[in-house]
Amino acid sequence: MRHAPDIKTPLPGPKAAAIVARDAKSVSTSYTRDYPFVMARGEGAVVEDVDGNVFLDCAAGIAVTGTGHSHPAVVDAIVDQAHKYLHMSGTDFYYEPQVKLAEEMAAIVPIPGPVRSFFGNSGTEANEAAIKLARYNSKRFNIIAFLGSFHGRTLGSLALTSSKFVQRRGFGPMMPGVYHAPYANCYRCPVGLKPDSCQAECLGFVEDQLLIHLVSPDEVAAVVVEPIQGEGGYVVPAPQFHERLRALTRRHGILLIVDEVQSGMGRTGKMFACEHFGLEADIVTVAKGIASGMPLGVTAARADVMTWPPGAHASTFGGNPVSAAAAIATIKILKDGLIRNAEVVGEYFLGRLRGLMDKHAIIGDVRGKGLMIGVELVRDRETKERAVEERNRVVLEMFQRGVLILGAGRNAIRFAPPMVLTRDQADSVVSIFDDALGAVMGKR
Ligand SMILES: Cc1ncc(COP(=O)(O)O)c(C=O)c1O
């Protein structure tokens, strides 16, 4: 793969423009494409478009290709498995890759004691399974989720999702029994406190309002939480938020479902973001990075919780042998040093991005763990007025300069590169980000 970035044509180039035009006539109008990147091939943290332009990838297919594009060991595992058999439905038959992956999950998920895993194909399916399991196990039906969260777009998960109204508009009524509470967004503290001295008072809404006025705790099946909010803006809560939430759920016998779909599989410099907070879950949902790009969702749960009977829940493709083989290879690569790279390069990257705050007043906050980094843009550091337009323009300027990034929340940018990113590549991204911010602010 050539040096990145290397942009040779105006963007989009002619081949990309032609494919985008065909897409516009035949593909669902519901997809959000911020810019016309048309993939031809990828390797590590570098991707090439159909016109031969080379980009540094800080989006990783929305935090999926953690091991880098087409990691050779993952590709080998996929090819090897594909030659043996592609499918045999783990719901009705047995095959070893599914069993081995369940064993691997039991060994790595932050759930104490014996663990069982259910397999689906995506993050939303992993959360659907978690919702159903929590209701089945607890014989309760209400669920508490958090504002700004994203848990997926199928109707059960969608009822939990509260990231942007466009994701919900036109699809109601939602699944009943879901209540939303403020998340610990410490940069914009919902109760006006400081993270270094607060007692996670934002959870007072759950304890003193929700569970008093609206719903009896003994009718709450589960609380669903992202340990670090993803689509909502890469928001890192103060540790006391998770401590208090865990204590609260235990006090009321409520199951804690931790959604690690975006934050899991090494991205934050630990296998699961939960581990930064010492948080133990009852159910953990995983997808995205688990199989390096092959479709797979996992709902891992305490074995004494996952006791539903045969037929209660299943999916024909779930735990597909090729995806399972890719996941087993992915976990090995993560353990063999990639998580450490995410931690080390992530810390360096975060420091370099924070360094830009002296130069660019538009940067209000830089936060993150490992290679899950969010930069929030504001028009004024005092008022924290959201720089929404500017954020959108920065994303486009980065693309024109050869870096793929995505927004998160209303006015944040997320840096979620493949975890094989090097320091040199991080330096290139930071200097291009510096230019892009300068270009946008110069034009204001
Ligand atoms: C935290 C979280 N949960 C669930 C999902 C849904 O995953 P999927 O798009 O695979 O259904 C996402 C997707 O962005 C996510 O970030």
Residue nearest to atom 4 of ligand 1 (CA): 151
Question: What was the pLDDT predicted at 182?
Answer: 98
Question: What was the pLDDT predicted at 187?
Answer: 98
Residues of the chain where predicted confidence (pLDDT) is lower than 70: 1, 443-444
- Give SS3 for 172: coil
Among 386, 397, 409, residue whose Cα is nearest residue 434? 397
Among 378, 347, 376, 374, residue whose Cα is nearest residue 362? 378
Hey, what are 157's tokens?
Answer: 């998960």
Q: Would you say the CB of residue 397 lies under 6 angstroms from ligand 1?
A: no
Question: What was the pLDDT predicted at 1?
Answer: 66
User: What's the one-letter identity of residue 96?
Assistant: E
Alpha carbon of 280 to ligand 1 centroid (Å):
21
Q: Would you say the CB of residue 133 lies under 6 angstroms from ligand 1?
A: no
Q: Would you say the CB of residue 43 lies under 6 angstroms from ligand 1?
A: no
Ligand 1 atom with minimal separation from the 154 CA: 11
Alpha carbon of 359 to ligand 1 centroid (Å):
34
Each residue of 195-228: b (16+ CB within 10 Å) or e?
beebebbbbbbbbeebbeeebebeebbbbbbbbb
DSSP per residue over 210-226, as a string? Answer: IIIII--GGGEEEEEE-
Residue nearest to atom 8 of ligand 1 (CA): 123
Q: Would you say the CB of residue 437 lies under 6 angstroms from ligand 1?
A: no
Q: How far is CA 135 from each of CA 125, 141, 221, 307, rounded to the nearest angstrom?
A: 15, 5, 6, 12
User: What's the one-letter identity of residue 43?
Assistant: E
Distance of CA 390 to the CA centre of its chain: 23
Hey, what are 271's tokens?
Answer: 């296998």
Q: Would you say the CB of residue 260 lies under 6 angstroms from ligand 1?
A: no
Alpha carbon of 74 to ligand 1 centroid (Å):
22
Spatial contact of 414 and 374, defined as CB atoms under 8 Å apart: yes
Residue nearest to atom 3 of ligand 1 (CA): 151
Question: What was the pLDDT predicted at 345?
Answer: 98
Spatial contact of 187 and 364, defined as CB atoms under 8 Å apart: yes
Q: Would you say the CB of residue 244 lies under 6 angstroms from ligand 1?
A: no
> Which single residue is written with the structure tokens 């829940």?
313
pLDDT digits (tens, 9 = 90+) for 343-386: 999 999 999 999 999 999 999 999 999 999 999 999 999 999 99
Residues in the chain: 444
Cα 34 to Cα 70: distance, rounded to the nearest angstrom: 24
Cα 323 to Cα 283: distance, rounded to the nearest angstrom: 21
Question: What was the pLDDT predicted at 2?
Answer: 75
Among 296, 294, 375, 289, residue whose Cα is nearest residue 339? 289
- Give SS3 for 171: coil
Q: Would you say the CB of residue 122 lies under 6 angstroms from ligand 1?
A: yes
- Give SS3 for 432: helix
Distance of CA 173 to the CA centre of its chain: 26
Among 106, 101, 132, residue whose Cα is nearest residue 119? 101
Ligand 1 atom with minimal separation from the 229 CA: 1
